[in-house]
Amino acid sequence: MLELLLTSFPVIIRYFQLKRRNEAMTVWNMRTAVFLWAGLATCLFVLIFYFHPKSYSGLVPFRTVSVVAQTSGPVIELPIRNGQRVSAGDLLFRIEDHTQKAKLKQAEAELGKITAAETKSADTLKVAEASVLEAQASLDKLKVDLDNAQTLYGRNVGTQDAVRELEASVAVATAELSATQAQVNLAQTDISQTLPAQRAVAEAAVGSARTALDRTEVRSFTDGVVTQLVMSKGSPASQLILSPAMIIIPDRPKDTPIRIIAGFSQIARATIYEGMPAEIACDSNAGLSFHNAVLPAKVVFVQPAVAAGQIVPGGQLLEPSLRTARGSMVVFFELEHPEHQKIMLDGSGCLIQTYTNNIDGTAGHIIAATGVIKAVGLRLKVWGAVISGIGLAGGGGH
């Protein structure tokens, strides 16, 4: 351990003192130097581990899209395969659609009937309006004849029977005019209210049928890579989100930087701060050449709550003694150099080492300088990860 080497100078000095005096190096002669060495090493250990916290739980998170069908039926077309890259809008699979097509044709036929009824109502309105004009003209003529008959009767030239007959004819013509006007109003009501309402219902039925037909074609909503494809032609399409037909790993947005998350001890809350420098070593980037194995990063966000303390409504009262897990403080990191994002593998496990550099004065410089020991230790751990990863340490290798 580097800490032990750096604090071993009391023992070394005592060793040369005893050698110069030709005294034997015994436990008793070395007691003060050894205790001083242990005390200095302990202080240095505490100083380094407190101000430069590390985490073994670093992770490069990524999202997935579960693909499920929105309707039931056997799969009749499956143009993709595992590992294939798809773009938004690409067909993933098609479900048997005979029932949906039949319902769409039926809905379109009902809409056609409404269109025909609209045409018929328009013609009916024209006929009714013509009948109104005809009835109005007939009524006007009868009124003129009635006026003439009344005038002649007043001069003792005409007869009272002729007047009564014309009065009856005027009453009949007035009734016919009201009837034809009612036909006009009825046709206008059909055109302005009844038929539009029926058309809206028919169009909604057509839209619903088309939506049902569209749901038989499942398309991708994002660019990405298909994985865990479990269906085949003829198999029933799954509608359960817990049992998806496939999973798509979407491409990362180009304008969104990769964030690495890690869990730290809650004690580290006193030292971790936004902007804090850090180094990240992911297993997927480790190699014998050490090229891009350790990447500079910084703290960009500290989650303001510990997940282990969240409370979900349930049927039992909270019992704190049963929640034994303390939980960790979640910290988000971003790489200092954007070009390093290209070499990050989604889901990689990482070692995270942070370095305190926000303390002023001589003490702050000393604390910052001790970060070199943690930096060396991080690189030794990378070597250990390589040895373990290739199987020389047993387990997990080839």
Query: For residue 221, which of 98, 73, 67, 8 has the smallest C-alpha distance?
Result: 67
Q: Mean pLDDT highest for which of 59-63, 124-128, 393-397?
A: 59-63
Mean pLDDT taken over the chain: 85
Under 8 Å CB-to-CB from 240, ≥6 apart: which residues?
68
Query: For residue 350, which of 265, 292, 268 has the smallest C-alpha distance?
Result: 292
Residue 3 has pLDDT above 60, yes or no: no
Residues facing residue 262 across a β-bridge = 331
Taking residues 80-92, what's their average pLDDT? 93
In the prediction, which pLDDT does 46 show?
86
pLDDT digits (tens, 9 = 90+) for 232-285: 888 888 888 888 989 999 998 888 899 999 999 999 999 999 999 999 999 999
303 is written with which tokens?
């989650």
d(CA 259, CA 371): 23
Q: Which of 22-31, 156-165, 214-223, 374-383 is predicted with the least confidence, judged by mean pLDDT?
A: 22-31
Higher pLDDT, 191 or 371: 371
pLDDT digits (tens, 9 = 90+) for 195-218: 888 889 999 999 999 999 999 999
How large a percentage of the chain has pLDDT more than 90? 40
d(CA 90, CA 245): 16
In the prediction, which pLDDT does 238 show?
80
Residue 89 has pLDDT above 80, yes or no: yes
Q: At CA 59, angle to CA 56 and CA 60, rounded to 5?
A: 150
Q: Give the CA-trace dihedral at 140, 141, 144, 150, to 10 degrees.
A: -110
Residue 225 banded pLDDT, cuts 50, 70, 90: very high
Exposure of 199 by Cβ count < 10 A (0-12 exposed, 13-18 middle, 19+ buried)?
Answer: middle
Q: Mean pLDDT highest for which of 40-49, 117-126, 205-214?
A: 205-214
Identify the DSSP state of 74: B
Residue 224 banded pLDDT, cuts 50, 70, 90: very high
d(CA 203, CA 119): 17
| 58 membership: H or E segment, kind and range | strand 54-59
d(CA 159, CA 144): 16
Higher pLDDT, 91 or 180: 91
pLDDT digits (tens, 9 = 90+) for 163-197: 788 778 878 888 888 888 888 888 888 888 888 88
How large a percentage of the chain has pLDDT more than 70? 90
Residue 139 has pLDDT above 80, yes or no: no
Taking residues 140-168, what's their average pLDDT? 75
Residue 25 banded pLDDT, cuts 50, 70, 90: low
Residue 28 has pLDDT above 80, yes or no: no
Residue 375 has pLDDT above 50, yes or no: yes
Taking residues 348-377, what's their average pLDDT? 91
In the prediction, which pLDDT does 174 show?
85
Taking residues 51-63, what's their average pLDDT? 93
d(CA 354, CA 331): 11
Taken in order 286, 292, 294, 299, the sign of the CA dihedral is: negative
Residue 398 banded pLDDT, cuts 50, 70, 90: very low
